[in-house]
Amino acid sequence: MPHPHPTRAWDGQRQPIPTTTRRRILRSSPTCGLSYPGVCEGTPRVVDHRVGVADARAAGWDPADIDDPANLHAVCDACHALKTAAEQARGRARAQAARPKARPKPPHPGLRP
């Protein structure tokens, strides 16, 4: 039976953070765990990874430690969106760096010296 809560685990290998863990973290955090100046809404509504999943995988973390409650905190929607955008940019940069470099095009035969 599929898990009742959707996940953004596009690779299909991850399960969402259990509801009981989510609720416990949200109850224990009255304010946003990131508090980005000029962005923060103050009231946490999202449970986020302190070290993002992709960053943790790239660093060689054990999969069980990624969703450990010590790596989770409650954040507001605005701070979560900002942090997620930064993580996505790092992921795109990692992917770009991993791509093989394109061979330079040979000069046109009519333009040879």
83 SS3 class: helix
User: What pLDDT is recorded for position 12?
Assistant: 62
Q: What are the two backbone dihedrals, phi and then psi, of residue 48, each rounded to the nearest 5 degrees?
A: -125, 155
Question: Does residue 104 belong to any structural domain of this protein?
Answer: no
Q: Which amino acid is at 4?
A: P
pLDDT of residue 4: 41
Number of folded domains that form the chain: 1
User: Within a domain: residue 112?
Assistant: no
pLDDT in tens, 76-85: 999 999 999 9
- Per-residue pLDDT at 1: 41
Is residue 80 situated within a structural domain? yes
Structure tokens at 42: 């103050």
Task: Give domain status of residue 64, yes or no.
Answer: yes
- pTM for this predicted structure: 0.74
Q: Which residues of the chain have pLDDT under 50?
A: 1-8
Q: Tell me if 48 is assigned to some domain.
A: yes
**Residue 64 is part of which domain span?**
19-98
Q: Which pLDDT belongs to residue 105?
A: 83
Please choose, from the candidates 12, 13, 71, the residue with its C-alpha nearest in 3D space to the C-alpha of residue 47. 71
CA distance 106 to 108: 6
Residue 57 lies in a domain: yes
Q: For residue 1, tell me if it sits in a domain.
A: no
